[in-house]
Structure 1
Amino acid sequence: MKVFDTIKHSTLVDIYRCYELWTLMQQLEHVPGEAIEVGVWKGGTGGLIASMLKRFPMPRKIYLCDTFQGVVKAGDKDTLYRGGEHADTSKEAVMELMSTLGVTQNVEILPGIFPEESAHQVEHNLFSFCHIDVDTYLSAKDVFEWVSPRLSVHGLVVFDDYGTWGCEGVTELVQEIAQDPNYFLFQNLNGHAVLIKLKSATTIGDGFQTSSLSR
């Protein structure tokens, strides 16, 4: 609650989803890899995750990825977003929040459209956790396709806005990914979809591909 009270004005994610992120991260201590969040806005959930990572016996880093110019890649599958929404933020504002939380050593910000403009900086990293909060189908798809081969077995991908009005494209994408036997889908009615990676490899239907990078 102390962390939530600090970040609650810097996120649109409610206390229930924040608590879920907190407890999921807590369970990943023994899963190798760092954390990544795509769709940072003012840094609330990123700061929350970083605060848990700092508590690990071997503290880890979270990479915070955002255009800082609003939502991108809106298309026909997206009923609410048209592009440019949530641009009222900045890298400086996010780092100020991280400083308040005392987690600057656990955070690295990657500005730009992800993965096209910023993923090259972490393309060889291994991840245990990915939080996708980008609001549109194509943007979420591109993030998932990039992170999937870099995700540890038993690592988690959390999609925000799952099952919510205005983000039907994200819901459709999750249902497509759920057909892949390498992932287990946990549907939370509070607006989260949690994907657990069961094993490495091979091919996911309709163009999704993974590799054996995970371990």
Structure 2
Amino acid sequence: MDDYLPALTGIRNELRGGRSVYEGYQRSWGLEFGELKTHILADPDYRFAAALAEGRSVLMLERMMNLFLLVKFFLPRLPFGHIVEYGSFRGGSAMFMAALAERFLPGAQVYALDTFAGMPETDSAIDAHAAGDFANTNMTEIQAMADRSGLTNLHLVKGLFQETAPTLLPQIGSIVLSHIDCDIYSAVKYSYDISKPHMAPMGYFVFDDATVSSCIGATEAVESFVIARDGLLSEQIYPHFVFRHPAAG
């Protein structure tokens, strides 16, 4: 790992405001300005997982790479927990993370929550997307692909988040990564709030769309609740927003 991630000089490796600035720089600076992309593209673990996601995800390359770095190098440092994804579309990023979790997080499960029928109602005052967007998906087909790929640790959960998450999350226990891949205000707010009581100390909240130009609703939810209300400071702003859940006490 030491010769994979950049060793940064001049930045102390300590917690500041509940986040690891050093680790954030390792990933974000490494992806934007360093040689991390080259290393990752040559990594057989990345290549294996990325092949499963091909054609199934609209995540930009750097964001997929950042998820790779988190699952392979950073989540194993935390207490045991699971991965929950809010908004899975065609299952690409969920399969990607499940393949990596099998190798680096033994026993951890990946739960992919989605209507698998398109977006719910949105707020036209803030959301650019409308109900029914991203309806070109098929849960049966995704499950068949997961089965063919041997991803026994991937669980598809169909329905609105508010219908499925309140029962699911208490059953699965601790979460180490909440991947909130939602484009609209209400979904981002709900996903963040429902995850908080179940997050492991220093677990990761990753907001895929809150820095996307067409998703100001997602941005406002992060600004209003993660930053303004809860006082969290971002560990990364590139390639997406990453925050850490506060340590106990």
TM-score, normalized by length of structure 1?
A: 0.84
Among 52, 61, 83, the alignment partner of 1:35 is: 83
Matched, 1:188 2:246: no
Quick check: which has more Rg, 1 or 2?
2
Q: Cα deviations across residues 18-56 of structure 1 (Å, max 9, x unaligned)?
A: 010111112111322111001000000001110111003
Aligned residue among 79, 88, 95 for 2:136: 88
- For residues 127-183 of structure 1, what are the alpha-carbon distances to aligned partners after superposition, in whole Å with 9 as ceiling and x for unaligned? 111111121001110111100111011100111112211100111111221235663
Pairing partner for 2:157 from 110, 116, 119: 110
CA RMSD for the aligned pairs? 1.9
Whether contact under 8 Å (2:185, 2:218) holds in the other structure is yes
Identity of aligned residues (%): 23
Greater helix percent: which structure? 2
Contact 1:47 1:97 in 2 (8 A): no
Determine if contact 1:183/1:199 at 8 Å carries over to the other structure. no
Cα 1:182–1:58, aligned 2, differ >3 Å: closer, same or farther?
Answer: farther
Q: Does 1:4 align with 2:54?
A: no
CA drift at 1:100? 4.1
List alignment gaps of at least 5 residues for structure 1: 202-215
- Counting only pairs closer than 5 Å after superposition, residues 24-173 of structure 1 correspond to structure 2 as 24-26=70-72, 27-31=74-78, 32-56=80-104, 58-103=106-151, 105-124=152-171, 125-173=173-221
Q: Which amino acid aligns with 1:78?
A: I
Give unpaired runs (5+ residues) of structure 2.
Answer: 1-46
Q: Specify which structure has the higher proportion of strand.
A: 1
Instruction: Compute the displacement of 1:109 (Å).
Output: 1.3
